[in-house]
Amino acid sequence: MLVIDGISAYYGGVRALDKISLVQEEGEILALIGGNGAGKTTLLNLISGIVKPTHGTIMFKGEDIVSFSPEKIVELGIIQVPEGRHLFGPLTVQENLEIGAYRRRRRQNKKKISDDFEHILQLFPVLGKRLKQRAETLSGGEQQMLAIGRGLMGRPLLLLLDEPSLGLAPLVMQEIISIIGRLRQEGTTILLVEQNARAALKIADRGYVLEAGKMRLQGSATDLLENVELKKAYLGNRS
């Protein structure tokens, strides 16, 4: 479904990613792991068309999308839930969700969109109680749920999640993780970026480890969870 080949990216002369390659099959959950500044967000922004690479190709369903605009990429069904949520703060919870469905404004009927709306309120019941509230008044955990809900309203074929657990209390984080598990059962293809490597690998099929802009390791989630190097660097000593 997604084939990234030899991609490099720079921020004004400083290299952020160096010849990265990555393959994702349909229905798969990939975990992309790496410390702060490793280049994880940059990779997602390359896929979303917000950052443009100097080298390499990004094929989605057989089409090179490197030259596409961000909105065209969203049209194709690649939807990113950005790091730090980036909600439309002064707009209501409901408006945020409606805008999530913006890419479907022409193709799909209202019924399907309102069905998805109901479905998202089932996934995140707390949002249902806050529909008329401004998004900026929600708690951190609720905002993350809204960000994910907004992404889902676009009916992603490929969902890019950038550190959904960042800054959340452990309990809320568990909730988010379990929802990612449910999305997987529904067949959504997910590229999950996490600093919390253990939690990410537990729900992922395979994982990639990024370090200072280079791809260090890749393998099945179970192998990576057992990997000695990785244990030291990202998983802590608890096993």
Partner 1 sequence: MEFSQQIAQYIITGLTIGAIYAIVAMGFNIIHNATGIVNFAQCEFISLGGMFMYSLAVLFKVNLIIAFFISMAGVALIGALIEMGPIRHARSKEIIILIFLTIGLSEILRGTAQVVWGTDNVGVPAFSGETPIHLPGGAAIVPQHIWIFAITVMVMLMLRYFFKKTLMGKAMRATAVNRRAAALAGISVNRMVLFSFAFSGALGAVAGMIIAPISSTSYDTGIMLGLKGFAAAILGGYGNFAGAILGGIILGLLESLGAGLISSQYKDAIAFFVLLLVLFLKPRGIMGYGESERV
Where along the sequence are the contacts to partner 1 (CB under 8 A)?
Answer: 48, 50, 69-71, 74-75, 79-80, 82, 86-91, 95, 98-100, 102-103, 105, 150, 154
Q: Judged by CB under 6 A, does residue 42 bind ligand ADP?
A: yes
Residue 79 binds which of Mg ion, partner 1, ligand ADP, none (CB < 5-8 A, kind-dependent):
partner 1
Least Å distance between CB 160 and Mg ion?
A: 12
Min dist. Cβ of residue 166 to partner 1 (A): 16
The entry of Mg ion, ligand ADP, partner 1, none near residue 53 (CB within 5 to 8 angstroms by kind) is none
Length of the chain: 239
Candidates 31-39, 66-74, 129-137, 216-224: pick the segment binding ligand ADP (CB under 6 A). Answer: 31-39
**Helix or strand run (H / E) with residue 81:** strand 78-81
Q: Please, which residue, 87 or 127, has the CB nearer to Mg ion?
A: 87
State whether residue 13 is helix, strand or coil: coil
Nearer residue to ligand ADP within complex by CB, 68 or 208: 208
Q: Which is nearer to partner 1, 70 or 128 (CB)?
A: 70
Q: How far is the CB of 208 from Mg ion (least distance, A)?
A: 14
Beta bridge partners of 218: 208
Burial label for 42, CB within 10 Å (0-12, 13-18, 19+), is buried
Q: How many CB atoms lie within 10 A of CB 66?
A: 17
Q: Is 65 in the site for ligand ADP (CB under 6 A)?
A: no
End-to-end CA distance of the chain: 33
Are 55 and 98 in contact by the 8 Å Cβ rule? The answer is no
Q: Point out which span in 29-37, 71-79, 132-140, 176-184 binds ligand ADP (CB under 6 A).
A: 29-37
In angstroms, the CA 182 to CA 229 distance is 30
Cα–Cα distance for residue pair 138/206, rounded to 1 Å: 33
The three-class DSSP label of residue 3 is: strand
Residue 221 backbone zone (phi > 0: left; psi -120 to 50: alpha; other: beta):
alpha
- Of 27, 37, 167, 181, the one binding ligand ADP (CB under 6 A) is 37
**Pairing of β 189-194 and β 158-162:** parallel
16's contact among ligand ADP, partner 1, Mg ion, none, with CB below 5 to 8 A by partner kind, is ligand ADP
Which tokens hold the place of 114?
Answer: 């309102």
Which CB sits closer to partner 1, 78 or 197? 78
Residues in touch with Mg ion (CB under 5 A): 40-41, 83
- The footprint of ligand ADP (CB under 6 A) covers 11, 16, 34, 36-42
